[in-house]
Chain A
Amino acid sequence: MLGKVMKHEWKSVSGVGGLLLCVLLGCTLLGVAYIASPLFGAMMGWNSNNDAGLVMVAGMFGFFGIMIFVLVFSCVTFGMMVYLGIRFCKSMYAEEGYLTQTLPVKSSTLILGKLLVSGIWVLILQIVVFLTIVVLFGTAGIASVQHYSKLDSFGEVLSMISMGIQEMQVAAAEMFRQAGLRVSFLLTLMLATFFLVPFANMMIFFGSFTIGQMFGKHKIVMGFISFFLVQIVLNLLRTILGSIGMVGAVASASIGFTYEFMFAFTLVSNTIFGVGMFFLSNYINKKKLNLN
């Protein structure tokens, strides 16, 4: 049944997800086109023959472009999370809930199916945002290396960038070693955080809407209010527990351990809260469902 729940959930949310992916693709293409155009060179002051007006226009384009990109990148993931939260509330506790909640499916399977699909979508968007940033910075980097090195061959430019990255890796490894950071452990923590936290956050969001539905009226509004209240409680717990751990980490006089603790704590606390919200939501659906 989990596969069927996921199949139909995917169908119902993929329209908005696909639209947001198109927005990201459009932004990437616009950004690359800007960097490839003479405007980018003008903004960077690479051509002394450009008049002041063109440099100013190019600068404005660049400034507002970056502002818009930052806004779009932030809104895409956050907007998708809000959409998925509202969609969850509507399909489980509003009119559509009369169908969803009468399907011969366990409530835990319903919640898990919706959570997996939502988490996957948030993850996809996060990865695409990351790739977009890599592409934009990569394109700008290639253009800069091409300009300053005066190299004509694209292969030579890439080889120069590759050498630069290798040098940076060596320098970073030395810096991490001096700070006492275990690079592979930290990378594992970061990757686990990157992949798990979207699911945990979505579950906290879903759990808040599940608490909100118990109020009977204005379920979506109550869901958001519950979310903010839950966030306050969770942040309070995070601050208390995190402070205790941080004191220990700082006392160890190791910057590496402090960073490792921060990532590990974020990962573990989010996972625990997410799992807790899953069981709470399942309990409410089984014992306190209120489709009134």
Chain B
Amino acid sequence: MEDLIVIEGLSKSYDSRFNAINNISIRLPKGKIIGLLGPNGSGKTTLIKMLNGLLQPDTGTIEVNGVPVGVETKSMISYLPDRTYLNEAQKIKDVLEMFRDFYKDFQIDRARMLLTKLGIDENVRMKTLSKGNKEKVQLILVMSRDADLYVLDEPIAGVDPAARDYILRTIIENHNPNASVLISTHLIRDVEEVLDEVIFMHSGQLVLYTTAENVRQKHNKSVDEYFREVFAC
């Protein structure tokens, strides 16, 4: 199967005593939903930031579709960070226009349809929305792109169970079927059923990369149960 992401010898440290990412090499295929799983501080977000060009690695390389991380890969990746990244003073319609201007693959009609389903008026400013609705607007923006890779950092953290269902449904129903989805989370039980493959990370290192089905068959446990076993304190 053709590789979408190729990571070779990747390392990153924030200070001399601690490696946030320690010599990771991995190849991820196209067309899969992949769970990037690990406890807090395992290096998931650091890896995601480097994938999106928000942090520079100390050593190693990352390629997406055979292209080193840069301007070109940014047009291939649809990224949902673990925080609100929209200007609070902006109206939603201005954000839609911004996405349409910068991303050729942005489907503005899909975004409008998803907003309408949620009853969110695009003429309101971001600051008037609740925290949950802000997160949903961001998710709608990200999933309204026909990207090659969706990178979702903790998309269901800190939201109620009903919102989690909505978020997962939106991801499953709207992602480009030829693309891969990389979901970082430690709430495994909620996402387990949608995952094709899983990556376990701990202390900046790769502990496991296999299919979700393989984990279930080999260990006779769900991914969540196996994760709890591997990372038991």
Binding site for B on A (CB under 8 A): 1, 4, 7-8, 11-12, 15, 91, 95-99, 101-106, 287-292
- A258 vs B98: C-alpha distance in the bound complex, in angstroms? 50
* A103 near B54: Cβ-Cβ < 8 Å: no
Contacts of A96 in B (CB 8 A): 85-87
Asked whether any CB of chain A lies closer than 8 Å to the CB of B79, the reply is yes
* B74 near A102: Cβ-Cβ < 8 Å: yes
Chain B window 86-128, contacts with chain A (Cβ cutoff 8 Å), 1 for yes, 0 for no: 1101100010001001110000000000000000000000000
Select which of B49, B85, B89 is within 8 A of A12 by beta carbon.
B89
Interchain pairs with CB closer than 8 A, number: 63
Select which of A91, A105, A291 is within 8 A of B49 by beta carbon.
A291
List 6 A-B pairs, minimum CB-CB distance, nearest first. A104-B75, A98-B85, A291-B54, A104-B74, A98-B81, A99-B85
Asked whether any CB of chain A lies closer than 8 Å to the CB of B210, the reply is no
- A12-B89, A288-B56 given as contacts; is B74 within 8 A of A103 (CB)? yes
Contacts of B103 in A (CB 8 A): 104
* B53 near A102: Cβ-Cβ < 8 Å: yes
- A98-B81, A291-B54 given as contacts; is B89 within 8 A of A15 (CB)? yes
For window 56-84 of chain B, which residues contact chain A by CB distance below 8 Å? 56, 71-72, 74-75, 77, 79, 81, 83-84
Contacts of B87 in A (CB 8 A): 12, 91, 96
Of all chain B residues, the one with the shortest Cβ separation from A109 is B71
Q: Chain B's nearest CB lies how many Å from the CB of A229?
A: 23
Of all chain A residues, the one with the shortest Cβ separation from B103 is A104
Of all chain A residues, the one with the shortest Cβ separation from B82 is A98
- A287 vs B98: C-alpha distance in the bound complex, in angstroms? 26
Count how many chain B residues have C-beta atoms less than 8 Å from C-beta atoms of the other chain. 26
* B86 near A99: Cβ-Cβ < 8 Å: yes
* A290 near B94: Cβ-Cβ < 8 Å: no
* A102 near B54: Cβ-Cβ < 8 Å: yes
Binding site for A on B (CB under 8 A): 14, 49, 52-56, 71-72, 74-75, 77, 79, 81, 83-87, 89-90, 94, 98, 101-103
* A289 near B53: Cβ-Cβ < 8 Å: yes
- A8-B101, A11-B94, A96-B87 given as contacts; is B53 within 8 A of A101 (CB)? yes
Select which of B14, B55, B90, B101 is within 8 A of A291 by beta carbon.
B55
* B89 near A95: Cβ-Cβ < 8 Å: no
- A20 vs B168: C-alpha distance in the bound complex, in angstroms? 45
Contacts of A91 in B (CB 8 A): 87
Contacts of B56 in A (CB 8 A): 287-289
Contacts of A95 in B (CB 8 A): 83-85
Q: Chain A's nearest CB lies how many Å from the CB of B100?
A: 10
- A287 vs B84: C-alpha distance in the bound complex, in angstroms? 25
* B55 near A289: Cβ-Cβ < 8 Å: yes
Contacts of B53 in A (CB 8 A): 101-102, 289
* A290 near B55: Cβ-Cβ < 8 Å: yes
* B98 near A8: Cβ-Cβ < 8 Å: yes
- A291 vs B46: C-alpha distance in the bound complex, in angstroms? 10
Contacts of B84 in A (CB 8 A): 95
